[in-house]
Structure 1
């Protein structure tokens, strides 16, 4: 039988978190608030870094890109989820599902590599401060960020094409809240061992390689910090890395647990909770993580507020 005859699915049904209309309404309101707060928090960081010349440094250049990725990341998932809940029509077309998965993988890959680049930036700042400006030049930073985006575009394109070239002849119910790879692949009506191996290799290439870079960078950073004689110097060096370490633990911890644990340990409910953590909660928390522990961000925010107050009173 040809693949065209086998593939009869033209749309998928996304179950989400519950089928109860009352609970769906409550969940919709919660997700709407999360989405608005995420947009506001990351939008503030983008605004501050773009408008404050004192924040035009490599570290904040990378943070600006991270905030932009987070805005796109939640926008790939939450609006469609809200539309499904508010309309009661939990369906997504075959093409729409492929598109959502592509952008989800693309942005997730770009974020993994960007977090690795940010770790390298902190390594250079702490371990080789005299050559920091030369190593982390504007041209070098631009190339690094471009590399994260290009890697995301190419790697996710190959995986998404592979997954959606499989035959899907029913059932078409995705027991998840978006088109994530494991629940979609499980619906294919063919042997999926090859695509599962490909996805495992993809996860290792993206998540593990990025995490190794982060691990090596912070091992060198910790070694350098321990050799700083003054307590104040050690605290200052560590404070420049604390926010990034927290963000890395949130994103890589949940992502690794989701995609590298044994297939037998997967269940729809646990997969939804883990996916919720790295796809929705992490973008929500990142602006707080980077602003609450960052005096430069807080100072820039206060300057912006005071400027707005003066402008409105004049």
Structure 2
């Protein structure tokens, strides 16, 4: 129960980007275009991989589900942010705020888990090519993706249950454009020590272990590539994992940049723009990288474009 001099919080006021002033409309247009690009790019990857037979491989199967996680992650945040940009600040129910926090956590950390699985796929393709087909069967790929969602779902749920038990009394303003974990915890009037402990230990399987796993697999990949005698062979082997390596670096660099800066009054705007970078950069880069680097996707796109624009014979 809240003290008598404080009312229980039922709504959260998101303050968004208050310092944009004259740049509001340009910022809104750019953000909208980026969001449309994310939706179109990832939807295109998902549809191409789903309905094109020559893209039915483990690598593209994981790319499809990475695109799905990117799609869900940005759709959970950017529409509200766009609405917030035009209106200055927005009041949302506390339940909606906690749901957005929960859904952002699940879809965001699934990205990292799938990237770790993809690094294992690249490791097998380069370091264990003779065993690749027997190991990376279709049912194994499905089990790996489902396992990523289940593990992240369980870990995030354990934390969100504690968040739901927090009390929110009196002050209800969050100087952010979405309900991130740090601002929500800071708004609570309850003891958050247990929650902070659970969050800390949850980051080990969700961030630390996947990151270390990716590093180890790429060390093994690099060693295998250096052992290839021909320059052409080394170049071909590296090209099979270069797209994934770029996406992995983008994901972890933006995440570490956002969460390594301690929150303070002077860094609030910096944190918000870095958070925006983390939310939009990886989802917009993924379809661009895989479309540009993957010959199979480029050829499939060309085939469908030619089928659409080719004039019908009378």
TM range (shorter): over 0.9
SS where residue 168 of structure 2 aligns?
Answer: coil
| Aligned-pair CA distance for 1:28 | 1.9
Q: Number of aligned residue pairs: give it.
A: 313
Q: Deviations over 1:219-248 (max 9, x none)?
A: 110010000111111111111111111111
In structure 2, the residue matched to 1:156 is 156
Structure 1 residues 312 and 206, CA, compared in 2 at 3 Å: closer, same or farther? farther
SS where residue 13 of structure 2 aligns?
Answer: strand
How far apart in 1 are the matches of 2:38 and 2:313?
Answer: 30
| Aligned-pair CA distance for 1:273 | 2.3
SS where residue 310 of structure 2 aligns?
Answer: helix
How far apart in 2 are the matches of 1:263 and 1:19?
Answer: 18
In structure 1, the residue matched to 2:212 is 212
Structure 1 residues 20 and 124, CA, compared in 2 at 3 Å: closer, same or farther? closer
| Aligned-pair CA distance for 1:27 | 2.1
| Aligned-pair CA distance for 1:143 | 0.2
Greater shift, 12-21 or 212-221, is seen at 12-21
SS where residue 143 of structure 2 aligns?
Answer: helix
In structure 2, the residue matched to 1:169 is 169
Greater shift, 92-101 or 203-212, is seen at 203-212
Greater shift, 256-265 or 101-110, is seen at 256-265
Q: Deviations over 1:126-156 (max 9, x none)?
A: 0011110110001110000000111222221
SS where residue 92 of structure 2 aligns?
Answer: strand
Q: Deviations over 1:232-272 (max 9, x none)?
A: 11111111111111111111122234335656799322321
How far apart in 1 are the matches of 2:140 and 2:2?
Answer: 46
TM-score of the pair, normalised by structure 1: 0.93
Structure 1 residues 136 and 102, CA, compared in 2 at 3 Å: closer, same or farther? same
How far apart in 2 are the matches of 1:204 and 1:174?
Answer: 27
In structure 2, the residue matched to 1:141 is 141
Q: Deviations over 1:80-117 (max 9, x none)?
A: 11223334551111001011011100001211110100
How far apart in 2 are the matches of 1:73 and 1:262?
Answer: 23
How far apart in 2 are the matches of 1:15 and 1:126?
Answer: 49
In structure 1, the residue matched to 2:286 is 286
Q: Is the 8 A contact 2:258 2:278 kept in 1?
A: no
The alignment's C-alpha RMSD in Å is: 2.2
Q: Is the 8 A contact 1:203 1:259 kept in 2?
A: no
How far apart in 1 are the matches of 2:265 and 2:248?
Answer: 24
SS where residue 120 of structure 2 aligns?
Answer: helix
How far apart in 1 are the matches of 2:182 and 2:300?
Answer: 42
| Aligned-pair CA distance for 1:300 | 1.2
Unaligned runs of 5+ in 2: none
How far apart in 2 are the matches of 1:80 and 1:258?
Answer: 20
Structure 1 residues 4 and 69, CA, compared in 2 at 3 Å: closer, same or farther? farther
